[in-house]
Amino acid sequence: MKFLSVIIPAFNEKRNFKRGVLSQVDSYFKDKQYSVEIIVIDDGSTDDTRKLIENFIRNKKDWKLLNIEHKGKYQAVKEGIKEAQGKLILFIDFDQSTPISEVEKLIPGAEMGFDILIGSREVAGAKREKEPFYRHLMGRGFNLVVRLIVGLPFKDTQCGFKLFRRETIQKIIKKIIVAEKRKTVDAYTGAFDVEILYLANKMGYKVKEIAVSWQHFKTERVNPVKDSLRMFLDILRIKLNNLMGSYDK
């Protein structure tokens, strides 16, 4: 069994790939004493992402590429979880908005007994760079909704940098409902992070927020009005499923 599995979902990442993000990941783990595997999941990209990744990982023994039809970020992450062999599983965003080196801030928490460590841009010590005001406002508003509707105590549920014990996330994804039912036709990622953390809280797992450094990279994927509405509806669905006892089955 590997010590760490790194899961990287990818969807039309040609621009990010050209910034050398995968090279950064590869270089970072070359001198580590623990064993690692990196699993990239191409979520039905329509640009050159798949070809670029295939060429990059050729002859890299610790790298693997999974190709799936476009089903959205959650399904890509789920496929990575199913494939992962690591004692610990780390989800990261392809764009490296939180650099891979920040994993060293999370691993000690797992060794201290926490089941889930979530990178946070809001707790003391966190750093945010180049973030547009409207994105920060969206994040704050969404977090307020999460706290009011589903009662999660965390300051940042959406940072794409989370570390799980393998057995913990495997048990959680078996209970996912909202993200499983979502039909994805665009780049919308949904509120699957919230559903995972909501279930973790409900199931009694120990979760800790860790301050990380984060940098905004320009993207055309986020529609402030449309995506905010869809995220709000996803949160309501999570609450409704809990009230109906659907998560207790």
Sequence-separated (6 or more) residues with CB below 8 Å from residue 177: 195, 237, 238, 241, 246, 247
**What does the pLDDT look like over 57-92, one tens digit per residue?**
999 999 999 999 999 899 999 999 999 999 999 999
Q: What is the pLDDT of residue 187?
A: 63
Q: What is the pLDDT of residue 79?
A: 97
The 3-state DSSP class for residue 103 equals: helix
Domain holding 57: CATH number?
3.90.550.10
Query: Domain range holding 42?
Result: 2-248
| Cα–Cα distance measured from residue 47 to residue 31, given in angstroms and rounded to the nearest whole number | 33
| Cα–Cα distance measured from residue 178 to residue 173, given in angstroms and rounded to the nearest whole number | 11
Q: What is the pLDDT of residue 221?
A: 63
**pTM of the entire predicted model:** 0.93
Q: What is the pLDDT of residue 182?
A: 78
Q: What is the pLDDT of residue 25?
A: 97
- Stretches where the chain sits below pLDDT 50 are none
Number of domains in the chain: 1
Q: What is the pLDDT of residue 43?
A: 94
Can you say whether the dihedral through the CA atoms of 162, 167, 170, 173 is positive or negative? negative
The neighbour count for residue 192, using CB atoms within 10 Å, is 22
- Which residues partner with 212 through β-bridges? none
Q: What is the pLDDT of residue 130?
A: 77
**What does the pLDDT look like over 26-53, one tens digit per residue?**
999 998 999 999 999 999 999 999 999 9
